[in-house]
């Protein structure tokens, strides 16, 4: 049995207090640390699979054969891993450059919805500032006392941002087609004279 407890209490979560039962031999301190590291990784793996199931809804794919499931699950894994990385980067490196976790087009779109109130602050332009804007699309309040947004909020915010961008693209395409059609079909006239 392994017993692990954090010495100091972290700001945004309770102190870790684990009692782990293992059938693996632990003869030295380094062996215990290794087993604890393995257990800590388990949570990341479970979180990734939760995003895969809940966010990507991989289990809802109604494809009946394993062959048909392979391609969508491969895409879902890439999306789930990206979402997981975004959330973890926001927690571990909030002041990093935004290129680390988010594309330029997503940054531009998030600014449209939530412009920086004061672009001179140290928080503006960081990966955290952009990811918080995306989380706010799902209702994240971004109060000073709030913990960083989690995977579910990030997933739903990113889904809303993607849907909005898709709608804007379709609208621009339709307006462009209507404008081109009107230009071709409607001859221009100036004081009764045809210009075409």
Three-class secondary structure assignment of 114-181: CCCCCCCCCCCCCHHHHHHHHHHCCCCCCCCCCCCCCHHHHHHHHHHHHHHHHHHHHHHHHHHHHHHH
55: number of CA atoms within 13 Å, CB side? 27
Radius of gyration of the CA atoms of the chain, in A? 25
pLDDT one-digit tens code per residue, 11-66: 878 898 889 898 999 999 999 999 999 988 998 999 999 999 999 988 888 888 88
Domain residues of the chain, as ranges? 2-185
Q: Does residue 193 surpass a pLDDT of 60?
A: no
What percentage of the chain exceeds 90 in pLDDT? 49
pLDDT one-digit tens code per residue, 126-167: 999 999 999 999 999 999 899 999 999 999 999 999 999 898
Q: Containing H/E element for 15? A: none
Q: What Å distances lie between residue 38 and 2, 43, 108, CA to CA?
A: 12, 9, 39
The model's pTM: 0.72
Q: Containing H/E element for 190? A: strand 189-190
Contacts 24+ apart (CB under 8 A), 123-126: 123/95, 125/98, 126/94, 126/95, 126/96, 126/97, 126/98
With H, G, I as helix, E, B as strand and everything else as coil, classify residue 49. helix
Token pair of 75 as six digits: 């895409």
| Amino acid 195: pLDDT | 47
Contacts 24+ apart (CB under 8 A), 119-124: 122/95, 123/95
Other Cβ atoms within 10 Å of 192 Cβ, number: 5
Q: Does residue 9 surpass a pLDDT of 80?
A: yes
């Amino acid at each position: 049995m392994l017993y692990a407890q954090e010495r100091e209490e972290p700001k945004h979560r309770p102190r870790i207090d684990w009692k782990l039962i293992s059938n693996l031999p632990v003869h030295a301190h380094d062996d215990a640390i290794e087993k604890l590291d393995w257990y800590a990784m388990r949570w990341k793996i479970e979180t990734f699979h939760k995003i895969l199931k809940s966010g990507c809804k991989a289990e809802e794919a109604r494809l009946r054969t394993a062959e048909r499931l392979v391609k969508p699950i491969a895409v879902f894994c890439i999306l789930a891993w990206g979402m997981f990385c975004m959330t973890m980067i926001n927690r571990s490196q909030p002041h990093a450059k935004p290129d680390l976790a988010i594309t330029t087009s997503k940054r531009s779109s998030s600014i449209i919805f939530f412009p920086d109130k004061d672009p001179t602050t140290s928080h503006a332009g960081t990966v955290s500032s952009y990811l918080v804007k995306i989380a706010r699309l799902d209702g994240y309040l971004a109060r000073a006392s709030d913990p960083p947004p989690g995977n579910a909020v990030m997933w739903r915010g990113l889904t809303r941002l993607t849907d909005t961008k898709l709608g804007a693209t379709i609208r621009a395409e339709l307006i462009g087609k209507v404008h081109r059609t009107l230009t071709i079909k409607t001859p221009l006239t100036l004081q009764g004279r045809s210009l075409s």
